[in-house]
Amino acid sequence: MKEETLRDIGEFECIHRIAHDLIYRPELVKLGTGDDGAVFMTPCGYDEVISTDTMVEGIHFTKRTMSAADTGYHLCAVNFSDMAAMGAEPVSFVISAALPGDLSITWIESCYDGIRECCREYSVNLLGGDITGSKQGVILTGTIVGIVPENQAVKRSGAKEGDIVFVTGTLGDSSAGLSILLDGKKEEYPMLAIRHQRPKPQIDFGRILRESGASSLNDVSDGLSREINEITSASRVTIELEKERIPLSDELCRWGRDCGKDPFCFAINGGEDYELVGTISKKNWEYIKDIDGVTGIGHVTKAGKGQVFLKDKNSIKLLTIAGYDHFRL
């Protein structure tokens, strides 16, 4: 039997099918979906942080690399990750969806199940959105509002000479996961595939790092080389990284051996890990250096024009930006 599509049920029935069970932090909502706008509150003593990220079919995902539920979960995770990178907590979310008329109802319902799963996990309210048709596949845009104690958002521009450079988690897993999904080898490397499909926004680390006095933070969406260069340019400093200290997972090293590629290439230039990279003074480093999942990978050598150097055994080279660029593929 032919699968039911959005064209069969129309725009308003589609909204009805997806817009339910959206509130996971009721104390901050005065009015949810259903009106021209939603009304929400910000607790006293907090600043609001806002950010937006889009997922485009064929660019960020395909039906081969992600299920519908993965796509929905991923949209939330990448948006919430920007809040983590500001040391903020995500609170209110809206989604604009451009959808082809021949999309199956099951796909969009499962996508919203993934969205609900992530919103529930991070206690984020989905306060509304917009739906339009698309002639170019699925396009989903999320806009997230977060909260952070007044004047404490962690910027990219605060790195200082002498600071330690750190990352959370392991790097390179997501881009390796993408190549595994495209190669059809998901069963042999399940962790890498999941790291690509369902990245975890590092909200708890964002808060801990802010409370511990991190001087700069960024999330790794476009690859370490690009993100670290964003910190050095914004802070006008020079950073030296030690290649061997960049944390790699065992599964990534195994994939590197199997496919004959240096696993550090995935870690340095692959994107979409959604881990945090940042800097912290030597004194404050003492508070975080023993936390599981935090690794020192280098230091800020001096004030400068924004260069990054990569030290590998006895050689030291300028690290050029080779991460993801939407217009230079």
Q: How far is the CB of 191 from ligand TPP (least distance, A)?
A: 17
Which stretch, 55-63, 94-102, 152-160, 200-208, contacts ligand TPP (CB under 6 A)? 55-63
Which stretch, 54-62, 141-149, 229-237, 287-295, contacts ligand TPP (CB under 6 A)? 54-62
Q: How far is the CB of 183 from ligand ADP (least distance, A)?
A: 27
Q: How far is the CB of 53 from Mg ion (least distance, A)?
A: 5
Q: How far is the CB of 81 from ligand TPP (least distance, A)?
A: 7
Tell whether 233 is in a known binding site.
Answer: no
Question: Which of positions 205-224 make contact with ligand ADP (CB under 6 A)?
Answer: 221
Q: Annotate each residue in 273-292 with x if it binds ligand ADP (CB under 6 A) or - if it does not, as one string.
A: --------------------
Q: How far is the CB of 325 from ligand TPP (least distance, A)?
A: 8
Tell whether 130 is in a known binding site.
Answer: yes
Check residue 60 for interaction with ligand TPP (CB under 6 A).
yes
- 205-208 CB contacts, 8 Å cutoff, 24+ apart: 205/84, 205/168, 205/276, 205/293, 205/294, 206/83, 206/84, 206/85, 206/86, 206/87, 206/88, 206/154, 206/276, 207/87, 207/89, 208/288, 208/291
Question: Which of positions 46-65 make contact with ligand ADP (CB under 6 A)?
Answer: 53
Check residue 303 for interaction with ligand TPP (CB under 6 A).
no
Tell whether 156 is in a known binding site.
Answer: yes
Question: Which of positions 190-249 make contact with ligand TPP (CB under 6 A)?
Answer: 221-222
Residue 178 or 228 with smaller CB distance to ligand TPP? 178
Q: How far is the CB of 114 from ligand TPP (least distance, A)?
A: 16
Check residue 82 for interaction with ligand ADP (CB under 6 A).
yes
Tell whether 122 is in a known binding site.
Answer: no
Residue 130 or 183 with smaller CB distance to ligand ADP? 130
- Contact residues toward Mg ion (CB under 5 A) are 53
- Residue ranges for the known binding site for ATP are 112, 129-130, 156, 221
